[in-house]
Amino acid sequence: MSQPLELQNYIDGFWEPSAGQMRDVVNPATLETVGRVPLSTPAEFDQAVQAAKTAFYEWRRTPPLARARCLLRLRDLMEQNFEELSRIQTVEHGKTIDESRGETRRGIEMVEVAAGIPSLMMGSNLEDIASGIDEFLIRQPLGVFGIIGPYNFPFMVPLWFAPFAVATGNTIVVKPSSEDPISQVKIVELAEEAGFPDGVWNIVHGGRDVVGAMLDHPDIQGVCFVGSTPVAKEVIYPRCGATGKRVIAQGGAKNFALVMPDADLPRTVAACMNSFFGNAGQRCLANANLVVVGEGLTPSEHAALYDEIASLFVQAARNITIGNGLDEAVQMGPLRDPGKKQGVAQRIADAVAEGAELLLDGRVYETPVGCQPDAFLGPTVLGRVTPDMAVAQEEVFGPVAALMSAASLDEAIAMIHANPFGNAASIFTSSGAWARKFRYDVECGNIGVNIGIAAPMAFFPFSGMKDSFFGDLHGQGEDVIRFFTESKVVVERWF
């Protein structure tokens, strides 16, 4: 990518230039322009929808095994292009190459699971529901779906939905994030090579105009969105409801990690480094609040445990190497752009003003060799954070850890429930009783037990509760098959 790529829309099997304005795609580590992406027009989005609508007629009639073969060929092509796909993500987003490889692997797993569609989509039947009468349940595709991708996982997240949508016989129009859309362009190139018919898998770049066109379009049957809670709650979910569309709207998060007195502290802290600071904290499953729980301890013992964990945590965070994600030795890249860095830096200043103790200041660091400083922020650790502080309640979406205390497990769970989000929560413990109480009582969609990042595999749904999710069915797993299909019941008698 020595020369900036001039990106185009992919509509009905053709790469089409857009009449919209172009914006730069910038590598945040070097501030190098690596691509230019169009902000397409609603008319161009409509063109893609019409192509997808036309393609749906034949694609839904394509046998499931034939659709699965397209996915299996796509999977093979993704494996063959594994390193290129990973490198693209690092260059356009800034994450480390190792993180990009993990994202590529997760994307491939989505395609692999979706290729099992003959079994996943299978209906059911029962003979003799009454004398001589049989009943069948059939799952049928609905039509054209829209997919809106986020900037933090530009490659993987659209693949929570796209392979399952086309596997079930639907057609799609994908709108990638305009901040880092290149990896989705590469996926469409591979889908074309894999033999997907024209019009089945389309891509239209753009901003709010394209999103608005998607939400209002009468031929879009449903929308899949991952992004911020305000957009999910106030825009995507109500607009889809108003126009009768199915919707998966995944919002933000404020995830808690509880450390019990019996936890294996070295392993716990090691797991927390990735869950708090991986992807520079820009993930909806990132832990943000570390709660040291004093269940069964005296106040002095609890205070000593807090101090020990804080010391280990700060020491480990200080040793994280930041820099250009293409460097194999780098453990954390920049934030996605300088504006996001400025926003996170302001959150740190606000937390200190509220009374948080600044144990490690990520605003102070040496600019990595060969990088520009504008988007870099080191790991930050805040101590003595209380539940009423903004930094404990609101999503920061950056490499900031808030250390807190709770006298008991019940108090810690109450902290989680007082938070408006419900995406994920983790507990670190050697006690089966404490772990069971945690997973049983906590109102979050994804629960980790001695796991830093409670990320479900492709064959389980990516859950979420409260202000982290708006909809009825989730991406991945059985949920997403139900989302992309309509259940038809046939009651049959022959004379």
The pLDDT value recorded for residue 308 is 98
- Count helices and strands (H / E) in the chain: 17, 23
CATH class of 255-449: alpha beta
The three-state secondary structure class of 39 is: coil
Token pair in block for residue 39: 């902000």
Token pair in block for residue 385: 């954070």
Distance CA 4, CA 2 (A): 7
DSSP state of 16: E
Helix (H) or strand (E) holding 489: strand 485-493
45: left (phi over 0), alpha (psi -120 to 50) or beta: alpha
* Residues 208-254 pLDDT 10s: 999 999 999 999 999 999 999 999 999 999 999 999 999 999 999 99
Closest CA to 261 of 63, 429, 73, 145: 429
Mean pLDDT of 266-275: 97
Residue 2 has pLDDT above 90, yes or no: no
* Residues 15-31 pLDDT 10s: 999 999 999 999 999 99
The pLDDT value recorded for residue 365 is 85
48-61 burial code (b ≥16 CB/10 A, e <16): bbbbbbebbeebbe
The pLDDT value recorded for residue 366 is 86
**Where does the pLDDT of residue 184 fall: very low under 50, low under 70, confident under 90, or very high at 90 and above?**
very high
DSSP state of 460: S
The CATH homologous superfamily to which domain 5-251+468-493 belongs is Aldehyde Dehydrogenase; Chain A, domain 1 (3.40.605.10)
Closest CA to 293 of 321, 256, 327, 322: 256
Percent with pLDDT over 70 in the chain: 100
| Amino acid (one-letter) located at 438 | F
Distance CA 258, CA 292 (A): 6
Query: In Å, how far are 226, 324, 371, 445, 469 from 230, measured between CA atoms?
Result: 11, 31, 33, 19, 11
Mean pLDDT of 435-453: 98
CB-side exposure of 260: number of CA atoms within 13 Å? 21
Domain segments of the chain: what residues? 5-251+468-493, 255-449
* Residues 28-67 pLDDT 10s: 999 999 999 999 999 999 999 999 999 999 999 999 999 9
105-133 burial code (b ≥16 CB/10 A, e <16): ebbbbbbbbbbebeebbeeeeeeeeeeee
Token pair in block for residue 315: 């020491």
Cβ contact 450:425 at 8 Å: no
CB neighbours (10 Å) of residue 321? 11
Interhelix angle 97-114/64-80, nearest 10 degrees: 160
Residue 456 has pLDDT above 70, yes or no: yes
CB neighbours (10 Å) of residue 312? 16
Token pair in block for residue 80: 């063959």
Query: In Å, how far are 226, 284, 419, 420 from 251, measured between CA atoms?
Result: 6, 8, 14, 11
Distance CA 140, CA 126 (A): 19
Instruction: Describe the strand order of the beta sheet including 22-26 as a list of residue ranges.
Output: 5-6, 33-38, 22-26
**Where does the pLDDT of residue 367 fall: very low under 50, low under 70, confident under 90, or very high at 90 and above?**
confident
Task: Tell me which residues are annotated as active site.
Answer: 284
Task: Tell me the average pLDDT of the chain.
Answer: 97
Bridge partners of 146, per DSSP, are 173, 223
DSSP characters over 87-135: HHHHHHH---HHHHHHHHHHHHHHHHHHTTHHHHT--EEEEEEETTEEE
Distance CA 317, CA 281 (A): 13
Distance CA 65, CA 468 (A): 35
Mean pLDDT of 418-437: 98
